[in-house]
Amino acid sequence: MPYLFTSESVSEGHPDKIADQISDALLDNFLAFDPESKVACETLVTTGQVVLAGEVKSNTYLDVQNIARDVINKIGYTKGEYQFSGDSCGVISLIHEQSQDINRGVDRGSKEEQGAGDQGMMFGYASKETENFMPLALDISHKILQVLAELRREGTRINYLRPDAKAQVTIEYSDDNVPQRIDTIVVSTQHDEFNGDDTAMLAKIKEDIINVLIPEVEKHFPTDIQKLFNDNITYHINPTGKFVIGGPHGDTGLTGRKIIVDTYGGKGAHGGGAFSGKDPSKVDRSAAYAARHVAKNLVAAGVSDEMLVQVSYAIGVVEPTSIFVDTYGTSNVDLSDGEIAEKASKLFDMRPFAIEERLKLRNPIYLETAAYGHMGKQPQTLTKVFESPYNGKIEKEVELFTWEKLDMVEVVKTTFGI
């Protein structure tokens, strides 16, 4: 019997995502001026206020207030009527030094013997459902909000958009797990005050979302995905009605509250640890990236059509305590999932320092991960510029989304005899 599956995404202007982006901007600045920084930064945003907290061990000093304001302004919170603006909000810093009890288990005489920064389990997932090996419902949800943000900044075709927004997509699947059609699309977008009655306002927003936004979204997908967009989609556009009050004025935001949006939209599994604001010694982040790298390369190589990879750690211990693979019955090789996991563990060194080195994680690469998902984006190299009243100006060429590289496919094929 056909079934439905749903994923959601939130915009860069959503309160929780503002918090994530501020935390990752702070992390990037610490790593830019001191790559050995140990950082765990949390952010809270609410009406007219930003609170920064967490633990840091670093040889550099930052103007954290200015970094936070810059992020907020770039997102688009620049007007007084939003009740939250980068130029006028208060920024309180409660950041303090990292506990030596934690640091003792991480830093060792040899970097190769670096222990995990925490205990826990992390998951990576990949599926042949899309070209970027991501779940389709989440991929479309992300793209809806990315295009919506582009239209907001363009300000011509839709000229009333504000930064806060959410999207949700429901896909109908066949019995053999093949996407058949898009069943439902939900979009809630913050907007300016309209002159006139609410009925006309809502009608205009719905018309623009369906006739302007969605056709632009379709263009970003290959033909087989475009066919899933049809005239029978159920749309819920701003279903609660008026959405003028939004952002941190409408809802308090916290770092790390959108972990399913950040990963696989409810597909696969999640170990519960958030990413943003954490340096790569925290395996919550680095091992989740490494597990995605493993799953994506194995699926791309043809080991299976779908795969979940779990890796677990004990704080201060170098080697992972377990590596687990689930192919959901889609394996294309004559091996059990346990045997696949054993072979994968020999191909991919999952020790914390090895992950940092392989994926080049001790670089300022994290702000770009903090909205529209940490997984599924295109790897790229760019030059980032950082300025500080205490450290001067620095330019760094960095590689973004290294865990999305298909750089182990041929090795995997050889190892698995594909």
Domains of the chain: 3-10+136-246 (3.30.300.10), 120-128+280-416 (3.30.300.10)
Gap between the Cα atoms of 41 and 24, Å rounded: 8
As annotated, the binding site for L-methionine includes 55, 98, 251, 282
Judged against a pLDDT cut of 80, whether residue 193 lies above it is answered with yes
- pLDDT for 191 equals 94
64-75 and 15-33 are packed helices; what angle lies between their axes, rounded to 10 degrees?
Answer: 130
Say whether pLDDT at 322 is over 70. yes
- CA–CA dist 303, 416 (Å, integer): 7
- Known binding site for K(+): residues? 42
Per-residue pLDDT band for 112 (boundaries 50, 70, 90) equals low
User: Which tens digits make up the pLDDT trace of 344-366?
Assistant: 999 999 999 999 999 999 999 99
As annotated, the binding site for Mg(2+) includes 16
Q: Which residues are annotated as a binding site for ATP?
A: 14, 164-166, 242-243, 251, 257-258, 274, 278
Local structure of residue 81 (DSSP, 8 states): G
Q: What is the pTM for the complete model shown?
A: 0.95
pLDDT of residue 98: 65
Mean pLDDT of 111-134: 88
Annotated binding-site positions? 14, 16, 42, 55, 98, 164-166, 242-243, 251, 257-258, 274, 278, 282
Contact of 60 with 51, CB cutoff 8 Å: no
pLDDT value of residue 109: 55
Any idea of the CA torsion for 94, 95, 100, 105, to the nearest 10 degrees? 130
Helix (H) / strand (E) element for 39: namely: strand 38-46
Residue 100 has a pLDDT of: 58
What tokens appear for 28 in the block?
Answer: 């990037």
